[in-house]
Chain A
Amino acid sequence: MSLKNIVRELKEMRDGIGSMSRRGGSGSDGRAGHGRSGSRHSWPSLWAEQQQQQRQGQEGPQHQHQHQGRWANLPPELLLDVIQRVESSEATWPARRQVVACAAVCRSWREVTKEVVKTLEECGRITFPISLKQPGPRELPVQCFVRRERATSTYLLYLGLSPSMNVENDKLLLAARKVRRATRTSFVISLVSDDFSHSSSTYVGKLKPNFLGTKFTIFDSQHPPDAVVLPNNKPSKRQSKQVSPRLPLGNYNVATVTYELTVLRNRGPRRMQCTMHSIPAECIQEGGKAPTPTGTIQSLDEPVSTSPSTKGKKVAVEFSSTSLSADLSGPACSNETPLVLKNKAPRWHEQLQCWCLNFRGRVTVASVKNFQLVASVDPSLNIPAAEQEKVILQFGKIGKDIFTMDYRYPLSAFQAFAICLTSFDTKPACE
């Protein structure tokens, strides 16, 4: 039973019964033990429990010490009201961290907060780490910037138009580090900038090039949810939240990025193609829906190993081995028609004597790394021209070691960032 249903039922019951007490009779119990903090109890039986307590005369005057336990029993509709107010007023980072704080208070607060926060596509706001794996909004892109730290081969993705004056205000979304191994380099992607271990709970995925540096595979540590594709109907509200399949953490191949030279070879821009194995092409149709994971990032849903010291982390180590053979190198989802993104071909500007793309002011320095990706679709899918023109991912330089990255539906921040990282690693064969 969703919490919203519980809240509605509770309201209806209260209205029907009228003057029956709702408040917990034994307020001296400070623990959230009445079951209000979890949705596991059914509300009607909890109500009956309280009525009994009323009759036993446990309702007493409001002693000061009793308030300690009462807030834990705040009626769900009031908790919902309060958290909704917090969520709607703290819309932008860093203030938005307040919403994450509410979800960390206790179980009932966590449940209500998760119920209140909508997906990135629905509300346009990044809230929890899982937002980084959800498709962006359809209309206005999410605008980010990337800072490259050459000394440590680290790439940092921040939310925002460009670096702010006070670095404290920049919200770090993801971090990547180029890791050099015996035969080749790869990029490890993490939630934090100081931990790139595969077995860490902050590990999110990785990027691996082929030997020539012309093809890259993007791996997600979580299996993407199955797509819900409804090309002919509007997706119902109930289907807008999908639970990620309960599979162990590993390295799931979610996309492939390839680079090619055109006939102009080094004198012309490269041709880029991204095959998104986890996103069906139909999702950009009217009413289509890209896979949207909910729940938490890195949730270890499987019962973990018996070893008490390593607990959940052991599962991650077993699957995300750094050796090539452990990667699930086939596409993660059996997808008939994966979405293919291609870069928009720049136009040769005779006067300026350079290749140009309209970045709408978001890219200001010429660089071979700059690109715009649009969907490349089969005519049989009936995607309107306007939709095909939409720039789904845009990446480009604005200064020394600073780049902007704008992405929108159906890509997620993780996918967009990984694709942009490939731009940093292409080899001489491509340049």
Chain B
Amino acid sequence: MGCCYSSEDKPTEEEEEHLIPPSNIVCKPNGTDWPTPSVPSARTDEQALLTSILTKTAQNIIDVSAADQHMMEPHEYMDRARQYSTKLAVLGSNLPPKKALTLPSLTTQPHQVLASDLVPYSDVQQVSKIAAYAYSAISQIKVDAKEELVVQFAIP
């Protein structure tokens, strides 16, 4: 298990750059040692890359615990609360009033509709059967685990 430089995918981003310049790698058939870089400046490159990764992470991640906790004066707090509530009041009045849920009219002849024939028993049976099939089908939906969810990288 050696580590050979693959020419299939050439990463363009900084993070995916090889820490050790690929041109210096020698493939060993029983690769138990990491190939040692022959160029001493590789160390500083590594340093530079690590620093860049660090700065990128620092920019992207917000550290809540390290943030300054400035104490607010009580009057400042009251002022802000008042500010926010007035803003809310202004915005709230602009919202359209909530539409009342009105029942739609289903028919203009309620007596006729209610007096007409009941649903035939055969129809009820058929619908019950279809519902039973659907229920049975849904209850058979399950996860088919094919592989391990967590795998270990094979690091020699």
Q: Are A and B a genuine interacting pair, yes or no?
A: no
B positions within 8 Å CB-CB of A = none
Name A's B-contacting residues (CB within 8 A): none
